[in-house]
Amino acid sequence: MASNYTKTFPVSWQELHRDAKALAWRLVGNGPWKGIVAVTRGGLVPAAIVARELDVRVVDTISVKTYDHMTMGAATVLKAPAPDTRSESEGRWLIVDDLVDTGTTAKVVRELMPGAHFATVYAKPAGKPLVDTYVTEVSQDTWIMFPWDTEPQFVRPLAETNGTRGA
């Protein structure tokens, strides 16, 4: 986790599913959707849930690398969506991502698909103006711990770690 994040916000699989479904509820009246473009990798799971809820069968991807778990870098498009995602005939395209943070990825995606509707499950203040729809706002200094980045493991009881173990 980068040093400019002072808080964590763990999200379970169940919470992510609930929040992605809430995103679909907000989007249901905005179609018809020509298809969904998931921003990989984080947008894949929410996009699948949204696609199911909105009965959208066409799903493409865009892959933009901006940071790893420690450092932020320049945005690089690793895979662009199919050329017809820029067309607005027969409905709009829906872009789905898990999170808009600083807006670096969102700016790149917006340039490639200016007429698309951009939706994220979570939004931070710096990136929020770049998306059309989101479910939950999270403070800029919070690192969201998605379920695909964590794993359950044993944690010692507090009494064992501070020397006040009972009888």
Tell me if residue 5 falls in helix, strand or coil.
coil
Q: Which of 60, 98, 141, 149 is catalytic?
A: 98
Strands (DSSP E) found in the chain: 7-10, 33-40, 59-67, 72-79, 92-100, 117-123, 133-137, 142-145
How far is C-alpha 152 from the chain's CA centre?
21
Instruction: Please confirm, yes or no, whether 97 is among the known catalytic residues.
Output: yes
Instruction: Please confirm, yes or no, whether 101 is among the known catalytic residues.
Output: yes
Residue 141 CB partners (closer than 8 Å, separation 6+): 4, 5, 6, 7
CA nearest neighbour of 93 among 132, 53, 147 = 132
Q: Which of 101, 132, 141, 149 is catalytic?
A: 101
Q: Which of 19, 97, 141, 149 is catalytic?
A: 97
Instruction: Please confirm, yes or no, whether 141 is among the known catalytic residues.
Output: no
| 8 A C-beta contact, residue 46 and residue 23 | yes
Q: Distance between CA atoms of 19 and 28, rounded to whole angstroms?
A: 14
Active site residues: 97-98, 101
